[in-house]
Structure 1
Amino acid sequence: MTGHVATVARKEFDDAGRSKLLWSLIGLLVGLVVVGYVGIWYTVDDVTAAEALSFLGTPLQVIIPIAALIAGYMAVVGERRSGSIKLLLGLPPNRTDVVFGKLVGRMGVVGLAIALAFLVSLVLGAVLFGAVPFVDWLGFGAVSLLFGTTFVGLAVGVSAAVSTRGKSMAIVVGFYMVFVALWELLTAGPYYLLYDEGPPVEAETWYLVLDQFNPIFAYTNLASSLVEGSLYPFQFQYGLQSMEAYGMTPAERYPGDAPFYLQDWFGIVVLLVWLVVPVAIGYVRFRRTDL
């Protein structure tokens, strides 16, 4: 990796600043925060700033992945589609610089949008509710930034690995549908086949480990440990597991003291895995492909 990563990243961020992408993301997230805070303040009595902050967890877990996937899925394959990749590689940046420069640049775009949204939430919390839960706010914001950059990494990795826009879009949409709509079928379904019943509250350890590797679950588990109240993952439910188990963390479902890999903080590892592995696969494929 050379020093041209920063050059590519800066150009990527500057291009986004001149396009509708960055401003659309900022407008979407900031607008969501404003509408949410004003709506809570106007309709719900006796709500604290900490409670208002936790309410944002549900819409953010839906909007941030979609925004990040949109921001990243064309990062590399878009250059290949237009033919500009050959011109770009004819300049000092090499393939490594292109992949990681695009990754950093798109992370900057999504990160700025999330940071501004949380800055607005800080101001609105002080104005509307008279207090700012700064520690909660800072932790929740940091976890949300990691959550957003995880999905950017997933999208950029896919974009680097494939050769057409259609394939990139199909794969990132497929991942999102797996996380939101198919996860219970893919995890609780095999459990049912093996044990002739759905996962109970105290399910087998292998199932609890597998179930927590949904990045949306990892985000809500982490956020729930940082803000007041519990955040429930946005997921289609098929009734394959105990109703009591929905909304419980792996640590809560484990009998006795949970091992480190089932504790809430392990969600950071899960998010980093979903960030690093797709980028690594996409990078290797892009390095080997014939342009």
Structure 2
Amino acid sequence: MTWKTVLQDDLLGVRRSRLGQGVAATMFAFTAGIAILVALAHFSSPGGDPPAFDTIMLLVGSLLSVILPFIAMLGSYGAIIQERESGSVRFLLGLPNSRFDAYAGKYLSRSLLLSAATAVGLLVVAAVGFGVLREPDAVAFLLFGAATVAFGLLFVGFGLALSATLDSETQVTTGIISTYVLFRGIWPVLQWGGLWFARPDGELGLRPYPEWYFYLGRLDPLNAYVKLVNVLFNDNQFHPLITNPQGPEVDYLAVSTPYAVAALVAWTVVVPVVGYLLFRDKDVL
């Protein structure tokens, strides 16, 4: 019995569970569902011009930046904590399984579930985009798909790390909500709090913002993902979910596409690794 066996067993169980089906259905609704509605609206008014491909993709990406982190963490939160609370963790960690086998198998299983659901939804988006919408861009779409899958895996890592290191489902649920609130709400507050301490009275919102403001902001994985979506489908212009630079701020490395890519990659790699290291040394029996 190895990580492959854990992967197969967990994938079979999660596919049959209501939670797994709910994750798949929600991802389908927020990708394929939007595309289907756009197609129906176009075919119901055949005389009008179809929407631009970039406009719809920007909408899909923006919605995914809000909902995908929560879906990904929800789909992976019970991977290990439910084994502990049911007592089956003794079988999961029984010989010849190592903790690495258990953790890697669970991570790959939940990642495959989310990635497959995302891919199916994006295939429908592609069918509508290249069959109905104006000026579709194949390269931009493929890059968007890769960024979206990575974004989802990032938060699968968070959900699994919380499941492996906390001591009850209640704690894990609280951890998921706290993680989402941190990146969606507290992180921007910290940015503005830094400006409040660093600037004199009356200059809080004065442009240009300091360089550190953007380094901190784009380090937020939600902002990094929206940055990439904005570059692909909005020419990096104004977007309500992120602060775009003005004037001389455009020279900052922090507002570049490579920095956003690096932030996503770093979170995607570091979070599951740290979660495993904590799980490896934790008393879970």
Query: Which category describes the TM-score, using the shorter chain as reference length?
Result: 0.7 to 0.9
Work out the CA distance in 2 between the residues paired with 1:167 and 1:273.
Answer: 25
What does 1:1-291 correspond to in 2, within 5 Å? 4-41=2-39, 42=41, 45-129=49-133, 132-196=136-200, 197-198=203-204, 200-228=206-234, 232=239, 234=241, 247-248=243-244, 255=249, 257-259=251-253, 261-290=254-283, 291=285
Deviations 1:210-235, CA, capped at 9 Å, x for gaps: 1111111000111222224558364x
The residue matched to 1:15 in structure 2 has which SS? helix
Shift of 1:45: 4.6
Change in CA separation of 1:89 and 1:231 when aligned onto 2, cut-off 3 Å: farther
Q: Point out the more displaced range, 6-15 or 160-169.
A: 6-15
Shift of 1:56: 0.9
Work out the CA distance in 2 between the residues paired with 1:79 and 1:58.
Answer: 35
Indicate conservation of the 8 Å contact 1:111/1:145, yes or no. Answer: yes
Unaligned residue ranges in structure 2 (runs of 5+): 43-47
Deviations 1:12-52, CA, capped at 9 Å, x for gaps: 22222222233322222222334423444527854223332
Work out the CA distance in 1 between the residues paired with 2:117 and 2:153.
Answer: 11
What TM-score, normalized by structure 1, do the two folds share? 0.85
> How many pairs does the alignment contain?
275
Work out the CA distance in 2 between the residues paired with 1:152 and 1:180.
Answer: 17
Change in CA separation of 1:11 and 1:51 when aligned onto 2, cut-off 3 Å: same
Shift of 1:6: 2.4
The residue matched to 1:99 in structure 2 has which SS? helix
Deviations 1:156-196, CA, capped at 9 Å, x for gaps: 11111112111111112101011112222112112212213
Change in CA separation of 1:278 and 1:38 when aligned onto 2, cut-off 3 Å: closer
What TM-score, normalized by structure 2, do the two folds share? 0.86
Indicate conservation of the 8 Å contact 2:147/2:225, yes or no. Answer: yes
Unaligned residue ranges in structure 1 (runs of 5+): 235-245
Indicate conservation of the 8 Å contact 1:161/1:282, yes or no. Answer: yes
Indicate conservation of the 8 Å contact 1:161/1:281, yes or no. Answer: no
User: CA-atom RMSD, angstroms?
Assistant: 2.4
Deviations 1:126-169, CA, capped at 9 Å, x for gaps: 34337642112111111000000001011111111112111111
Deviations 1:235-283, CA, capped at 9 Å, x for gaps: xxxxxxxxxxx5415xx67536333x54122222212332233323322
Change in CA separation of 1:156 and 1:126 when aligned onto 2, cut-off 3 Å: same
The residue matched to 2:232 in structure 1 has which SS? coil
Work out the CA distance in 1 between the residues paired with 2:158 and 2:220.
Answer: 13
Work out the CA distance in 2 between the residues paired with 1:61 and 1:70.
Answer: 15
Work out the CA distance in 1 between the residues paired with 2:129 and 2:282.
Answer: 50
Work out the CA distance in 1 between the residues paired with 2:197 and 2:267.
Answer: 27
Shift of 1:121: 0.4
Change in CA separation of 1:51 and 1:256 when aligned onto 2, cut-off 3 Å: closer
Change in CA separation of 1:256 and 1:167 when aligned onto 2, cut-off 3 Å: closer
Identity %: 26
Aligned to 2:45: none
**Paired residue type of 2:210:** E
Work out the CA distance in 2 between the residues paired with 1:50 and 1:206.
Answer: 31
Indicate conservation of the 8 Å contact 1:221/1:231, yes or no. Answer: no
